[in-house]
């Protein structure tokens, strides 16, 4: 009986210890949650959390405050009644158009486009004009095709977008190309607005936490997070300002091209007319060639004079060098003849050639001397 009593007492003590541990853990957990929610709750709730806790973890509180931005965006999107496509009652649309105008009166059309821009209250964002008439400085130059071309990027109020396009129809030219584009940024615009609102709340709460910070470590952590939030806030505001500009002012790219009116009637020429034109054109081209040749000679005349002077000065040296070269060549031939006497005699007998020397015998390389000696011996006998 005593043993059972002791066991029951021990079991009761263990259960009490477990209950006390769970209660303290729950109390600590609730206190921490109150601290973290203090970054997203009102100022009174945060003050109460600071009063009931001895210390707080600044990093976790700031992280909970930053993580609530995405939840705020999704929650406010639902409150605004947005669907998956991001459509709202007020659509945020960006209008863009590309227009190509061909005209025979370039300057008049260019001035008409500028007048249309001023009439609708727009402005020119960029402008460039080119003229491909590269041979304009020739006296007989005649424009045979359009050479002027202008590119203008125009920003007009979106409310005047259609009116400006209609004004381009009456610019004394023909619109040969027209393309329009519409981009719906309603959801992105709405998300950006909510993000800015959430970041502004984070900035306010972090500044309040900075006033309540008690240690230097907490102040450094909060200040670092505050700097990040302010940077994100500035970027989000700039992005939203860009959206507002694109929505409020439409973009029209206008290209003006000069053209020349051509005649479809072909002029028929007779053979004699074509022959005369060809003869005249050939002599004209020959005269131009001779003129170019004379000009080239005159242009190179200083170089020619210098080259002639150098050749005159070096001529004696070239003559001596040529004479020495010939002497050396003759000496080499003589040396070869002495070493090989057969090279000087022909290898075959030409019956049509008179006074041809006989080939020397092998026993008597002297040739004629040997034969004369033999004849003398015969006579003596």
User: Residue 64 has what pLDDT?
Assistant: 45
pLDDT averaged over 10-residue windows placed end to end, the chain, 381 residues: 42 43 39 38 41 40 46 47 47 93 92 93 93 79 83 94 91 90 92 92 91 88 91 94 93 93 70 88 91 92 92 87 86 80 55 53 47 43 36
- pTM strictly above 0.85: no
**Scanning the structure block, which residue is given the tokens 């406010």?**
76
Nearest C-alpha neighbor of 33 from the set 21, 43, 46? 46
The bridge status of strand 123-131 relative to strand 174-184 is unpaired
Q: Are 110 and 255 in contact (CB under 8 A)?
A: no
> Are the CB atoms for 175 and 168 separated by under 8 Å?
yes
- Cβ contacts of 337 within 8 Å, gap of 6 or more: 343, 344
pLDDT score of 345: 55
The length of the chain, given as a count of residues: 381
Domain borders along the chain are 1-56, 58-134+143-262
């Amino acid at each position: 009986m005593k043993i059972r009593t002791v066991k029951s007492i021990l079991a009761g003590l263990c259960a009490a210890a477990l209950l006390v541990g769970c209660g303290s853990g729950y109390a600590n957990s609730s206190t921490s949650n109150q601290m973290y929610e203090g970054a997203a709750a009102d100022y009174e709730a945060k003050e109460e959390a600071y009063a009931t806790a001895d210390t707080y973890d600044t990093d976790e509180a700031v992280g909970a405050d930053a993580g609530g931005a995405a939840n705020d965006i999704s929650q406010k999107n639902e409150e605004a009644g947005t669907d998956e496509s991001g459509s709202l009652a007020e659509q945020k649309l960006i209008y863009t158009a590309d227009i190509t105008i061909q005209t025979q009166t370039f300057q008049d059309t260019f001035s008409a486009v500028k007048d249309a821009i001023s009439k609708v209250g727009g402005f020119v964002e960029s402008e460039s004009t080119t003229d491909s008439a590269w041979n304009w400085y020739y006296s007989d130059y005649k424009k045979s095709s359009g050479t002027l071309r202008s590119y203008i990027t125009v920003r007009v109020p979106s409310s005047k977008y259609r009116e400006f396009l209609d004004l381009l129809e009456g610019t004394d030219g023909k619109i040969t190309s027209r393309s329009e584009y519409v981009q719906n940024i309603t959801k992105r615009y709405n998300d950006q607005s909510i993000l800015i609102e959430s970041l502004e709340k984070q900035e306010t709460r972090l500044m309040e936490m900075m006033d309540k910070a008690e240690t230097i470590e907490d102040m450094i952590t909060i200040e670092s997070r505050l700097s990040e939030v302010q940077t994100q806030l500035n970027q989000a505001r700039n992005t939203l300002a860009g959206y507002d500009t694109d929505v409020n002012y439409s973009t029209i790219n206008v290209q003006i091209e000069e053209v020349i009116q051509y005649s479809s009637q072909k002029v028929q020429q007779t053979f004699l007319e074509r022959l005369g034109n060809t003869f005249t054109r050939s002599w004209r081209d020959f005269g131009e060639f001779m003129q170019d040749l004379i000009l080239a000679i005159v242009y190179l005349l200083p170089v020619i004079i210098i080259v002639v002077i150098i050749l005159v000065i070096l001529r004696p040296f070239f003559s001596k060098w040529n004479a020495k070269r010939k002497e050396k060549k003759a000496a080499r031939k003589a040396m070869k003849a002495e070493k090989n006497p057969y090279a000087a005699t022909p290898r075959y007998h030409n019956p049509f050639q008179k006074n041809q020397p006989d080939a020397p015998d092998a026993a008597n390389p002297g040739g004629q001397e040997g034969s004369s000696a033999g004849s003398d011996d015969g006579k003596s006998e």
